[in-house]
Structure 1
Amino acid sequence: MTQPTCVHAAASTFRRAATVLTVLGLAMIPWLVFLHAELPATAVASHWSLAWTGLDGFEALGLLSTGLLLRRDDRRACLTAAATSALLLVDAWFDTMTAAPGPDCRLAVLMAAFAELPLAVACAVLATRTVARR
């Protein structure tokens, strides 16, 4: 028995998307080398506080929406949990990489180790378990 046309078309689309994404990921490697070699060691950001407030705001929105979706047993909670996990990982990375030496750096490492990274792992586990039960 042959597969319906729509199933075959979807599989073909996913294979093409997989190929395009793989090629794009590989194409970024030279770009990463260039950035590492050419970017200045320091930079001044005009909207520093707004950038950090925005990132933390998106994390709060992700946590809130994931919690509310879970309460409603909505399967989209796996999506918000995955996105929130990624945001928390980005926050931990940039907190630790941009912190000034000394107390700021120690605080960033402590926040990453005891708040952001454990919460990111919890959200990732929640995302995989939520999608698996559907």
Structure 2
Amino acid sequence: MSFDKDKVLAQFHKMCQNTLMETLEIEFIDAGEDFLTAKMPVNPRVHQPMGLLHGGASVALAESVGSAASLMFVNPELQEVRGIEISANHLKSKREGTVYATARILHKGRSIHLWEIRIVDENDSLISLCKLSNMVLPRRR
């Protein structure tokens, strides 16, 4: 079965309606067989009180893209994905513009997926480096 990027992106767009991802204006913009990319605007909606990108918003972006990426490797009729651990190193601040998060698989087991998520800005400067572990579970009916 061939990978259909447009179908994957449309599926994720639909899943994000009326969720935190919609609130934060996270948009999935690129996908491949082993990666997924989303973008998020940096504006007062995602600022901390000092006017900088909130670390929690970066983590929400990272977990959103990493968890969605795991869905590309499971059968959604039979399996569900749950984030079980995330770590983030915030390396550079950002006041405005856009950040891009790309999740790349580090380990794809039957029950655990490990992702590295790099969050960069428009100039490809590294803003945050995150690691996400997802558990693959049988789908609850």
Same fold (TM over 0.5): no
- Tell me the TM-score normalised to structure 1 length: 0.29
More strand by share: 2
More helix by share: 1
- Tell me the TM-score normalised to structure 2 length: 0.28
Larger Rg: 1
